[in-house]
Structure 1
């Protein structure tokens, strides 16, 4: 039977504020039993000690627990992305899949999977790449998507804490790094390479035992990875266009070559019919725009189109935080919205200094 994807973008007053989800359930707009994943932008620092992500997961678990059958809670991917620098607005994205007996495709399709718990010493190494690749393939199979039909993969991956590092060392295993902040980048990079491997964007021989040994010329074009302290495995959500799914939603993607490269995103928005004169999303387009997911990264050479930037040399604020606010401003100007899922740290996610973008929208004619 065909399935239909539904996506709700809901406001958040605090990382544990689920009032908008409760209102959606009460109004019949959200069936808790159909939820596949919940994404959120929370207002922490997005670094190792950002526990707004864990707070968000705790609030979601408490909210859904009495509303879904026993065991179903573990099947909801909860992808929290910390950091709403600049004008980014904290929000929830709730992704659901419902049966659609009479629908026709193609339309947005969603699949999710979880990997086994990752040993701390495997973070940033080939084992993590292969684990994520297997998870992406499982999520594609659940959604009935082939690699060429996938528009975006969202991965929530673990990081190393002092306790996790100590646990590995106590077993005589050396982690890829003892720097907890650096572990976030290694984990994101390994996750992105795993997605790229599963989608056929890189060859298996590109992967090295240590992710740090893989050149930045090898990257995923359709994956965003976000690391957090709130999990020790990987939550993977795959989205694409499938003839086996129906409904009004469509997804498209683009790749930015740097933080102000909005032309590919504008072309993506135009393909979805969201733009008006001047290439900006107009009011009619904003009514149909459902979600924007993007990765942001400070270029490693310290330049943006030949001009020096200081994102990597600011000792007060992490470069990932600068990059989030920078890219969010560019995309906000293009779309006219600030509730955008912009995530910092794009190692092996798009070219160095750039990053992949995905847009979900209701197709023309499906919105009054």
Structure 2
């Protein structure tokens, strides 16, 4: 059987790998078992946020001391820029170990990873990207041993964006990109990636999607997709998280969908299903069991939240995604008592307009299956 481990490690800077190196030296992490690393870096989360690439470079160099190059290349490294408010920079190291058959109540956390081929710039934000991601999600599910899409609780994707150079390359071939606005390309890429997840999980049928709907039809969404766009790659790195009887160990995952940036009650219900009291903010003892919380944050398209006007979409100095991360991050921190939260901004087709999916990974309380 396989057993999943998730290690949350604080970072002092995008290139800080000291915590990872210490955990490897102490034997808490086996480098050969690492399948993915998710991280929050303190950049702006926009097109020119190279803290993501900086972190990937540092992690790659660190792991190259312990693993051959092809093994390091097979690890999905999903860095999400932006720790606005009091969100705390950190990494989540996802590890898989083969173990002797363990007695385990019910299924356990399962992890599957896939890398797609490079995406041509002219396909970004269009159905070509949707189909590419859907194929990648199916591969990651297979590698995780998850057969039923209902057992998938979260799909984290790192997707590419457009730069002036990539746009020019497409146009030199006589192709046109979905947009020439590099910042808007992030939303197109996140949206198409999310619809790829929805297609793979059977949340939306293919006939309901087309190029024109991507980024515009807010009725189309996945309740389990989380996509983060970055300049540091041209392909997609896909991490599927779910539950499987082929996996053992104490870790479990559940998910919820927030209707808006402060809709914490569905998250509280998911925590309750994982065995938390969750009547108020989690107690210090309970916080020890909460290994990770992953969430999408979105300002929404209406400029209003529960009828009241907000200015996230009108601020010309700070991108709306940055406001949304801080806003939703604060709400979730108030619920959990933690600030090391993987809150990613920009939730196009990821949950309802203005809301977003959330996943909690926790060590099960005794007696909770």
User: How far apart, CA to CA, are the structure 1 residues paired with 2:145 and 2:212?
Assistant: 32
Q: Find the aligned partners of 2:54 and 2:321 in 1 and give their Cα distance.
A: 21
Shift of residue 211, structure 1, vs aligned partner:
4.5
Does the CA contact (< 8 Å) of 1:296 and 1:327 recur in 2?
yes
Root mean square deviation, CA, Å: 1.3
Q: Which residue of 1 aligns with 2:7?
A: 8
Partner of 1:254, secondary structure, is strand
Provide Cα deviations, 1:225-269, integer angstroms capped at 9, x if missing partner: 000000000000000010000001000000000001000001111
Does the 8 A contact of 2:187 with 2:215 survive in 1?
A: no
Tell me how far apart the structure 2 counterparts of residues 242 and 235 of structure 1 sit (CA, whole Å).
21
Q: Which residue is 2:73 aligned to?
A: 74
Which residue number in structure 2 is paired with residue 148 of structure 1?
Answer: 150
Residues 1-368 of structure 1 correspond to what in structure 2 (within 5 A)? 2-103=1-102, 104=104, 105-145=106-146, 146-212=148-214, 215-276=217-278, 278-365=279-366
Q: 1:213 to 1:313 in 2, by over 3 A?
A: closer
Q: TM-score, normalised by structure 1?
A: 0.97
Task: State the shift of 1:274 in Å.
Answer: 2.2
Q: Does structure 2 conserve the Cα–Cα contact (< 8 Å) formed by 1:124 and 1:210? A: no
Contact 2:141 2:240 survives alignment (8 Å): yes
- Residue 69 of structure 1 deviates from its aligned partner by 2.8
The Cα of 1:206 is off from its aligned counterpart by 1.4
Structure 1: runs of 5+ lacking an equivalent: none
Instruction: Please say if residues 9 and 20 of structure 2, whose CA atoms lie closer than 8 Å, have aligned partners that are also in contact.
Output: yes
Q: How many residues align?
A: 365
My pick for the range that moved more, 226-235 or 204-213, is 204-213
Give the TM-score of the pair, scaled to structure 2: 0.97
Q: Is the 8 A contact 2:188 2:215 kept in 1?
A: no
Cα distance, 1:100 vs. partner? 1.6
Contact 2:191/2:215 (8 A) holds in 1: no
Contact 1:176 1:210 in 2 (8 A): no
Distance change (3 Å), C-alpha of 1:271 and 1:313: same
Deviations 1:298-325 (A, max 9, x none): 0101100000010000011000000000
Unpaired runs of 5+ residues, structure 2, are none
Does the 8 Å contact 2:35/2:94 carry over to 1?
yes
3-state secondary structure, aligned to 1:251: strand
Instruction: Please give the alpha-carbon distance, in whole angstroms, between the structure 1 residues aligned to 2:46 and 2:208.
Output: 29
Which secondary structure does the structure 1 equivalent of 2:211 belong to? Answer: coil
Is contact 2:126–2:178 with CA below 8 Å preserved after alignment?
yes
Q: Secondary structure at the match of 1:67?
A: coil
Contact residue 274 and residue 282 of structure 1 kept, 8 A: no
Structure 1 residue 101 displacement after superposition: 1.4
- The question of whether the paired residues in 1 share the 8 Å contact of 2:117 and 2:235 is answered with yes
Moved more, 102-111 or 28-37: 102-111
Asked if the contact 1:126/1:210 (under 8 Å) is kept, the reply is: no
Provide closer, same or farther for how the CA distance between residues 270 and 178 of structure 1 changes in structure 2, counting only shifts above 3 A: same
Q: Distance in 2 between matches of 1:201 and 1:297?
A: 20
Runs (4+) of structure 1 exceeding 3 A deviation are 210-214
In 1, are the aligned partners of 2:11 and 2:91 still within 8 Å (CA)? yes
